[in-house]
Amino acid sequence: MPEQPTDLELRILKVLWQDAPMRVREIRQKLADGGHDIAHTSVITVLNIMVDKGFLTRTRVKNAFTFEPCVNKDEVSSQFVGDLVNRIFDGSASAVMANLLQTSDVSPDDLQEMRRLLNRLSREQKDKE
C-alpha cells in the first residue's frame, strides 16, 4: 500500500470492512448514520479515487457498482502505527507505550492483555537467542 488513506477514505474503509460489498447509496447512508452526511456525488468521487489508489475494487452489478476493500484493517493499521512510531517517536516503541499509558485511560483488562503480549514477545526473543 503506497500511501495512507485520508480521513474520509478511512471512514469508508471502516464501513466496508464491516459489510462489503456495498453500493454507493448504502455507503453514503452508513456514513450519514455515523454523523458524516456527504453528498452522493462526493462519495462517488472519493470511491473512484480509492479504486485508482488500489484501496477498493469496483464491480458492476446490473445497473450499479458495488465496492469492496482490497486492503485489510491490519495492513492499514500497521502502516499508520509504523508511521506514528517513526515520525513522532523516532522509532522508539517504548516511548509510544509510555505515552499511551500516560495519556489514555487504560483499563485493567487492557493492562493485563498488554502484560500477556509483552511476556509472549519476551519469551519469543529469548527463544531466538
Q: Please write the tens of the pLDDT for every residue from 28-61.
A: 999 999 999 999 999 999 999 999 999 999 999 9
Architecture per CATH, 1-91: Orthogonal Bundle (1.10)
Mean pLDDT on 112-120: 93
Backbone φ and ψ of 6, nearest 5°: -70, 175
Three-class secondary structure of residue 20 per DSSP: coil
**C-alpha cell of residue 82:** 509504523
Q: Whole-prediction pTM value?
A: 0.80
pLDDT bracket for residue 2 (50, 70, 90)? low
Beta strands in the chain (DSSP E): 22-23, 56-61, 64-69
CB 70 within 8 A of CB 56: yes
Instruction: Tell me the DSSP string of 2-24.
Output: -S---HHHHHHHHHHHHS-SEEH
Average pLDDT, the chain: 93
Q: Parallel, antiparallel, or unpaired: how do β-strands 56-61 and 64-69 relate? A: antiparallel
pLDDT in tens, 59-95: 999 999 999 999 999 999 999 999 999 999 999 989 9
Confidence of residue 3 (pLDDT cuts 50, 70, 90): confident
Domain borders along the chain are 1-91
Beta bridge partners of 56: 69
